[in-house]
Amino acid sequence: MSQRYEYGIDFDRIAAIDIHTHVEVDGHGHKAYTDELIEATEKYFKREPGALSSVDAVADLYRRHNTAAVVFTVDARTAMRHVPNSIEDLVAGAVRNRDVLIPFGSVDPWHERRAVHRVHELVRDYGVKGFKFHPSMQAFEPNDRRFYPIYEAIAEAAVPALFHTGQTGMGSGLPGGGRVKLRYSDPMLLDDVAADFPELTIVMAHPAVPWVDSQIAIAAHKANVYLDLSGWSPKYFPPQLVHAMGRQLRTKALFGTDFPYIALDRWRRDFETLDIDPAVVPLVYKQNAMRVLGLAP
C-alpha cells in the first residue's frame, strides 16, 4: 500500500524553503543517473566522489538548519536509458521526515499517455506537491504540443512544474557532453508553455546562463512564472539578475541550492554578500515559495 504525503511542516517556525534539492540514491541502492553522468557532475561541482545524497540525509541536514527542502529525482529513462531511483521510495522518505521535506514527482515526457496517468497517480496516491523536469536530460522541447496533456494534468492537480533552464553540470566535460543538449533548456521554450497554460505555476530552475535576460523578461511578463536561484553560488549570479531580484522579480525569485551540488551553508553565506534590499530577503527565503506551493495567497 502506498504512503501518501501530507504536510507536517510548521511554516510559521521554519526559517526558509529550499525549492531545489536532489535525492540521488534510494533505499535499494538505485541511482538517479548513470555512473558516467554522476562522475562528470562530481568533477564539475568539485564534489567528493561517491557521496550520493539520500532522502534521510537531506532531512537530517535541513532539520539542523530549520529549513524545509523540496526533494526530487528526474525520470529521464527514455533519453538516458537509465531507470532512476524510486519516486515511491523518495515519497516514503518524505513521509518519514514530513516536518522538513516536500516531495516532488517526475515523469518521463516521452511516455506521453502513461506520463499523464503517472501524474494523476503520484498526486492522488502519493501526495506529491509538484513535478520536476530537466529538458536537456530528458531530451525534449517543452513547448512541443505532444507534451501538453502532461501539463494539463499538472495544472488540474494545482501543483507547480519546475523546469531546469540554462547550462547544466550533467555531462559537463564528457565528449559531446554525454549527449546532453543545452538548447532544450532555453527558457524561451517555457514562455510558450506559460502563455498556453496561464493556470499552471512554472518555476525556471537556476540562473539560466546563457539566457538570463530572457529568463528575467519571462518571469517579469508572466504572472504564473517564477525562477529559483539554485545551482550557482550567489557570488557568481549575473549582475542583471541581482538587480532584478530587488525590483521586478522581488516576488518571483526563490531560494534554492541545488543540494548536494551547492552546499546550504555556502549558498547562504554568499547570498548575504549581495547588494539587495533587506526587505527582499524574507521573500526569497520563504514567502515566494509559499505562494508557489499554494500555501499562501
User: 28-55: string of b/e by CB count within 10 Å (b at 16+)?
Assistant: eeebbbbeebbebbbebeebeeeebbbb
Q: Which segments of the chain does DSSP mark as H helices, in order?
A: 35-45, 55-64, 77-80, 87-96, 113-126, 135-138, 148-157, 188-196, 212-221, 239-245, 264-271, 281-282, 288-292
- Domain assignment present for residue 265? The answer is yes
- Domain assignment present for residue 6? The answer is no
**CB-CB neighbours of 151 under 10 Å:** 24
187 preceded by a cis bond (ω within 30 of 0): no
Binned at pLDDT 50, 70 and 90, residue 82 comes out as very high
**Pick the residue with more confidence: 34 or 290?**
290
Q: What is the pLDDT of residues 166-211, one digit of tens each?
A: 999 888 889 998 899 999 999 999 999 999 999 999 999 999 999 9
Whose cell is 513547448? That residue is 143
Q: Domain containing 151: what range?
A: 16-291
Predicted local confidence at residue 199, as pLDDT: 98
- Domain assignment present for residue 164? The answer is yes
- Domain assignment present for residue 283? The answer is yes
- Domain assignment present for residue 37? The answer is yes
Task: Count how many domains the chain has.
Answer: 1
- Domain assignment present for residue 269? The answer is yes
Distance CA 3, CA 9 (A): 17
CATH code of the domain in which 178 resides: 3.20.20.140
- Domain assignment present for residue 56? The answer is yes
Distances in Å between the alpha carbon of 85 and those of 54, 91, 96? Answer: 10, 11, 17
Predicted local confidence at residue 121, as pLDDT: 98
Cell of 235: 557570488
Q: What is the pLDDT of residues 202-238, one digit of tens each?
A: 999 999 999 999 999 999 999 999 999 999 999 999 9
**Residue 70, burial from CB neighbour count under 10 angstroms (0-12, 13-18, 19+):** buried
Q: What is the pLDDT of residues 9-22, one digit of tens each?
A: 999 999 999 999 99
Directed axis angle between helix 113-126 and helix 148-157, to 10°?
Answer: 20
With residue 69 as reference, give the H or E element that holds it: strand 67-72
- Domain assignment present for residue 47? The answer is yes
- Going by the DSSP 8-state scheme, the letter that residue 85 receives in this structure is S
Cell of 252: 518571483
